[in-house]
């Protein structure tokens, strides 16, 4: 069994985790184009090399980030999302429908 190290819980069997997709910053929903928003939600760059990904520890509902080499499947490091998101993101107009043109 592959082992992944959760920043909160330590090394665990990979069966305790769920893959959450590539990490990229969310575009501003107010000013984003539909194309940009769709890319954020649906499209993956699918790069060969070291990428940053979201992972989820099922037992604790804990989301974190991992740097993984997609060629060798080696996990370089895992870290807390708070290392990137230090404060809450606010968008002025909460009613904006980002999916519309």
Task: Please tell me whether residue 62 binds other proteins under the rule CB under 8 A.
Answer: yes
CB of 54 to other proteins, least distance (A): 17
For tokens 């893959």, the residue is: 19
> Taking CB under 8 A as the rule, which mask of x and - marks residues 23-52 in contact with other proteins?
------------------------------
- Pick the piece of the chain touching other proteins (CB under 8 A) from 4-12, 26-34, 37-45, 63-71: 4-12
Task: Please tell me whether residue 5 binds other proteins under the rule CB under 8 A.
Answer: no
Beta bridge partners of 68: 51, 75
Exposure of 79 in the CB half-sphere (CA atoms within 13 A): 11
Q: Buried b / exposed e across 16-35, counting CB within 10 Å, b at 16+? A: bbeeeeeeeeeeeeeebeee
Question: Would you tell me which residues interact with other proteins (CB under 8 A)?
Answer: 1, 8-9, 12-13, 15-16, 57-60, 62
């Amino acid at each position: 069994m592959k082992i992944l190290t959760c920043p909160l819980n330590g090394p665990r069997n990979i069966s305790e985790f769920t893959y959450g997709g590539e990490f990229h910053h969310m575009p501003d929903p107010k000013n984003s184009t539909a194309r940009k928003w769709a890319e954020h939600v649906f499209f993956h760059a699918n790069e060969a090399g070291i990428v940053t990904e979201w992972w989820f520890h099922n037992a604790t509902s804990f989301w974190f980030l991992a740097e993984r080499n997609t060629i060798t499947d080696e996990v370089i490091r895992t870290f807390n999302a708070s290392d990137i998101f230090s404060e809450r993101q606010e968008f002025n107009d909460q009613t904006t429908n980002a999916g519309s043109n």
